Structure 1
Amino acid sequence: MRAVNGLEQMRAVLSAALACGINHLETAPAYGPAEGFLGEALRLLAVPRPALVITSKLLPGVPLEQGQLQLRDCLARLGVKRLDNLAVHGLNLPEHLGWALGGEGSELLRWALGEGLVGQVGFSSHGDNDLIEAALASGRFGFCSLHLHLFDPQRLPLAQAALAAGLGVLAISPADKGGRLYDPPAELVGDCQPHHPLELAYRFLLAQGISSLSLGAAAPGDLDWAKRLAGAIEPLGASERAALEQLERRAAERLGAERCGQCRACLPCPNEVPIPELLRLRNLALGHGMGAFARERYNLIGRAGHWWETLNASACQRCGDCLPRCPHGLAIPDLLADTHARLVEAPRRRLWG
């Protein structure tokens, strides 16, 4: 999705990926020209089709005939007769799940499988845990792509349940969405010693059994850690466990009694403020010096539709409903106000949309 500046960029990234043992390529029509560039690069490099696992995605909600046309266009751009994996791209709302299970989406997925155009169907989701759990429990999907990050592990139980049930699990962007770990602040580098933050994040997920990590490479150098960690799926070693403990300890020291434990007991908020997610960003900004990442994510709120939160901390009405439910006795309205003051800034343009 990031090698979109021209065919030569995509060709260089793809060549580097293949050289370090990567065989799973994931793209989507929604990623601008990426899918077309990928298809051209595959032809130029003459990559044998059996050597690859290819995934593409279709946005939910399209009518059956339109979805059929979109899938055929995907295949044509990629220059293949069959996708290994077809995902519902952004199963983020209950109506998206309804479309996939009982509407025209269900017909589309059944048709794609029946025609032999795809090997299996799955979904990516930026939705809440209840929605993801319902999708996994439906029995309709063979794989899922979820936000699973060292600094946001709340969906790991869902991922592990999916793995135990035989589904494939892909972690969405652990380098970028996981905290801009390719460009870590000095505090975070120190907290993760003797490991690089991105190395530790990748190893954390691999050791949890996550079967695929999406890397979002824009240049061959973005794959350096993938090359170094090829095959590194063994349990965490002593130095890695010590680094994770150090990471936790230093954040606790910096945040003190204001650290949000992410237990989610404060929910539901009468004003639908996503309290845990907002205080997670505050934890990262103050606990690990990850202010740039926290501000970037905070200022996407309300600007990304169903792909991200819609309300920021300014929506708190100080009703106090959350206060007696917090097991840590946090002054949540005050912390939300502080979060807004620290993180709000002029919004930036999204990569997509």
Structure 2
Amino acid sequence: MKKRTLGKTGLEVSLIGFGGIPIQRCNQWDVDEIIENLVAEGVNFIDTARAYTNSEEMLGEALKEWGRENFYLATKTPKITYDDVMADVQRSLSELQTTFIDLYQFHNCSTMEAYEKIMAPTGGYAALVACKEKGLIKHIGITSHSYEVLDHALNEEKFETIQFPYNIVENRGAPLFEKAKAKNVGVIVMKPLAGGAFIHSNYALRWVAENPNISTLIPGMDSVKQVLANTSVGKNFTPLDDEERHILEADANALGKTFCRRCGYCAPCPQGIDIPMQFIVEGYYRRYNLEEWALDRYNSFASNASDCIECGECEPKCPYDLPIRDMLKKTRELFDPLILHKK
């Protein structure tokens, strides 16, 4: 596995890291098997978060068997105040069953107002500095979907790492990463596969990895199959050739800009709709030519897009500002006539 330096942390991290969002859908047995294969394939960087429900807990259990010492652990808090952040660090240490965390990050700091509260004397940043002095954490980072926030954070030079979404569709992060590199700040890329939206995942990962300013990519993985596919990129990395680049660009053009990245931040839906899953099956129908499978899957949901009452609770939670109600309406308009016809 190829390694790159995570900025001023000095950590030599695997080019392909592990994103811990999807394992919320797994059982402990699955997670144990995933971690076993991460060790075997040379992955040494794990990223999770307090907000990922039981992700920290399951990782902590798996690492008891497969070795905490094999990984640099990164996690995140969505909290802002000193006391709340301090409490989250203690919870993370307990859930991950470790005496220290290599990188603790502020999770999705989405506005300058939130950033200023974090950096205030009574804010969360002071708490992480105190935790670092006590040896509870080793390094401090920040994650965001806002270019403005991370650009400002780089100017202030308080953080050792930044984390930002980046792929062939969402590619505006390149100047930010160049700036981070110049300041010796580590760059962690989330959403390199746009939440699994790309048909050619190998090409998508390699496109991101071509950027030398990036330290590590953290695609979410919830199966051994995904681990083996993704880690092959880090073990045998080569730049895209012209044909591969053309194919990936066609993928990107087919996706457009308005698509679900499956982060799950929109949950829970008051109507019980698994919102990302609606768009997944729609994608299988429209792009993967799996019409019958997608229709049957959609029809099997206890609640689907047809149950949306357009309350709008989901939309303010979406970090990509997607028009979720309109998107669900299009999903409904695709599948409902097909279901009636099938009956």
Mark yes or no: TM-score above 0.5.
Answer: yes
Task: Give the aligned partner of residue 208 of structure 1.
Answer: 211
Q: Find the aligned partners of 1:154 and 1:97 in 2 and give their Cα distance.
A: 21
Compared CA separation, residues 302 and 169, structure 1 to 2 (3 A):
farther
**Residues 1:218 and 2:222 are matched in the alignment:** yes
Equivalent position SS for 2:234: coil
Compared CA separation, residues 290 and 144, structure 1 to 2 (3 A):
farther
Show structure 1 runs of 4+ deviating over 6 A. 249-252
Q: Find the aligned partners of 1:304 and 1:311 in 2 and give their Cα distance.
A: 7
Shift of 1:69: 1.9
Task: Give the aligned partner of residue 87 of structure 2.
Answer: 69
CA deviation profile, 1:323-345 (whole Å, cap 9, x unmatched): xxxxxxxxxxxxxxxxx689734
Query: Percent of pairs identical after alignment?
Result: 18
Check conservation: 2:167, 2:194, Cα contact below 8 A: no
- In angstroms, what is the RMSD of aligned CA positions? 3.4
Compared CA separation, residues 246 and 217, structure 1 to 2 (3 A):
closer
Task: Give the aligned partner of residue 89 of structure 1.
Answer: 107
Question: Which runs of 5 or more structure 1 residues have no equivalent in the other structure?
Answer: 185-196, 261-284, 315-339, 348-353
Equivalent position SS for 2:151: helix
Shift of 1:71: 0.5
Task: Give the aligned partner of residue 12 of structure 2.
Answer: none
1:244 alignment partner AA: R
Q: Find the aligned partners of 2:235 and 2:247 in 1 and give their Cα distance.
A: 25
Task: Give the aligned partner of residue 155 of structure 2.
Answer: 137
Shift of 1:173: 2.5
Count of matched residue pairs: 266
Equivalent position SS for 2:157: coil
Shift of 1:12: 1.0
Q: Find the aligned partners of 1:180 and 1:12 in 2 and give their Cα distance.
A: 24
1:108 alignment partner AA: A
Compared CA separation, residues 31 and 291, structure 1 to 2 (3 A):
farther
Compared CA separation, residues 160 and 95, structure 1 to 2 (3 A):
same
Equivalent position SS for 1:108: helix
- Candidates 136, 139, 149, aligned match of 1:120: 139
Check conservation: 1:203, 1:232, Cα contact below 8 A: no
**Residues 1:164 and 2:182 are matched in the alignment:** yes
Task: Give the aligned partner of residue 22 of structure 2.
Answer: 2
- Aligned residue runs from structure 1 range 178-327, under 5 A: 180-181=197-198, 184=199, 197-209=200-212, 210-233=214-237, 236-237=239-240, 240-245=241-246, 247-248=248-249, 289=287, 303-310=314-321, 312=323
Structure with greater contact order relative to length (CA < 8 Å, sep ≥ 6) = 2
Task: Give the aligned partner of residue 53 of structure 1.
Answer: 72
CA deviation profile, 1:45-84 (whole Å, cap 9, x unmatched): 3x152x31100101132x3223212211211111111111
- Aligned residue runs from structure 1 range 20-39, under 5 A: 20-39=41-60
Shift of 1:290: 8.4
Q: Find the aligned partners of 1:213 and 1:7 in 2 and give their Cα distance.
A: 24
Check conservation: 2:109, 2:115, Cα contact below 8 A: yes
What's the TM-score, normalizing by structure 1? 0.66
Q: Find the aligned partners of 2:68 and 2:50 in 1 and give their Cα distance.
A: 23
Equivalent position SS for 1:131: helix
Compared CA separation, residues 251 and 176, structure 1 to 2 (3 A):
closer
Task: Give the aligned partner of residue 331 of structure 1.
Answer: none
Shift of 1:249: 7.1
2:60 alignment partner AA: G
CA deviation profile, 1:218-269 (whole Å, cap 9, x unmatched): 11111122232234455x25xx2343245547977x99xxx99xxxxxxxxx
Q: Find the aligned partners of 1:248 and 1:26 in 2 and give their Cα distance.
A: 28
Equivalent position SS for 1:344: helix
Shift of 1:137: 1.4
Compared CA separation, residues 200 and 69, structure 1 to 2 (3 A):
same
Question: Which runs of 5 or more structure 2 residues have no equivalent in the other structure?
Answer: 1-20, 258-282, 291-304, 334-343
1:40 alignment partner AA: E
Compared CA separation, residues 97 and 79, structure 1 to 2 (3 A):
same
